[in-house]
Copies of this chain bind each other. A is one copy, B any other.
């Protein structure tokens, strides 16, 4: 493979999280389904904001969180995603760049405002998400720069990209450029309901080898194959893709490759404060291992470690240096 400027380049919806604590009763009254990510329009966004408690604004977005995690792990990372040139868009740009990530997608000067995700965190640490895509809708294939994509060892894409109008085309363009340059393409299935919306297209991405590696949690896997039989789903998955990582919360993860299946335990966490970003940071840890050629087990441990860090506090971005944490845990030299 030619020299890569970036270890991982992520493409995703650029979103600012608006996080508030809420009780189960609030979710019920608002007709929200606990643990789910729901797409909402601007009017609903305003109604939720009016009803919810005092909030904190933190940059988010699934793939963006992963990329920031990768940078914290010492990887060279880049991100492509669309914000508007407004206060939240500038905050998003500041936060991702100051985390060491290359982020050059020009912000939209007109159209909807920067995308927001209203995250309600219940006392058990579970998060329920309501996403107003906003400017993320305006990510176009034109935003995909062939040279940058070709210079990245791994392209990481989120399933959520299937929701905005043109992002799917940006996704496919990037995947083609990457493969033409002999690079790897990874995909996270994002959310069980996202899989439900785009099941056939996701399966086609895997079967056509448009993606080489996928990340899924148990719910997403069940949704993908419409089965509650975990073993059957794993078997089906194995036939459909070269490498897959299935995360299982406190049960850790399994890494599936053509030769075998590696079972990796989770990291212990004293108190779960907010599960937002657990999957995103798992992917960060795992990909940081892949980028430096680590074995499946080490990749899985790095993923578990990064996920454990982010669920200990509010927000989906790491608060400590994951590189230092990986060193303390003997996962990197």
Residues facing B in A78-123 (CB within 8 A) are 86-88, 91, 94-96, 98-99, 113
For A96, what are the chain B residues with a Cβ–Cβ distance below 8 Å?
A: 54
CB distance from A280 to the nearest CB of B (A): 15
Given contact pairs A87-B86, A87-B87, A87-B88, A94 touches B55 in the complex (Cβ within 8 A): yes
A317 within 8 A of B: yes
Q: Which of B57, B95, B317 contacts A91 (CB 8 A)?
A: B57
For A21, what are the chain B residues with a Cβ–Cβ distance below 8 Å?
A: 319
A129 within 8 A of B: no
Contact B87 A54 (CB under 8 A): no
Residue of B nearest to A94 (CB): B49
For A55, what are the chain B residues with a Cβ–Cβ distance below 8 Å?
A: 91, 94-95, 98
A315 within 8 A of B: yes
Digitize A9-24: 1 where CB-to-B-CB distance is under 8 Å, 0 elsewhere.
0000000000001000
For this complex, into which size category does the number of interface residues on chain A fall? 20 to 34
Query: A58 CA to B58 CA in the complex, in Å?
Result: 9
A56 within 8 A of B: yes
Digitize A45-85: 1 where CB-to-B-CB distance is under 8 Å, 0 elsewhere.
00001101111111100000000100000000000000000
Residue of B nearest to A59 (CB): B54
Residue of B nearest to A315 (CB): B56
For A58, what are the chain B residues with a Cβ–Cβ distance below 8 Å?
A: 56-57
Residue of B nearest to A317 (CB): B54
Query: A87 CA to B49 CA in the complex, in Å?
Result: 13
Residues facing B in A16-34 (CB within 8 A) are 21
Query: A56 CA to B92 CA in the complex, in Å?
Result: 10
Contact A56 B53 (CB under 8 A): no
CB distance from A16 to the nearest CB of B (A): 9
Most chain B CB inside 10 Å of its own CB: which residue of A86, A317, A319: A319
Query: A43 CA to B87 CA in the complex, in Å?
Result: 16
For A314, what are the chain B residues with a Cβ–Cβ distance below 8 Å?
A: 314
Contact A98 B53 (CB under 8 A): yes
Query: A54 CA to B59 CA in the complex, in Å?
Result: 9
Which 7 residue pairs across A and B have the least CB separation, nearest first?
Answer: A57-B57, A54-B95, A87-B87, A54-B99, A53-B98, A56-B58, A54-B98
> Can you list 20 A-B pairs with a CB-CB distance of less than 8 A?
A21-B319, A49-B94, A50-B94, A52-B98, A53-B98, A53-B99, A54-B59, A54-B68, A54-B94, A54-B98, A54-B99, A54-B317, A55-B94, A55-B95, A56-B56, A56-B58, A56-B315, A57-B57, A57-B58, A87-B113
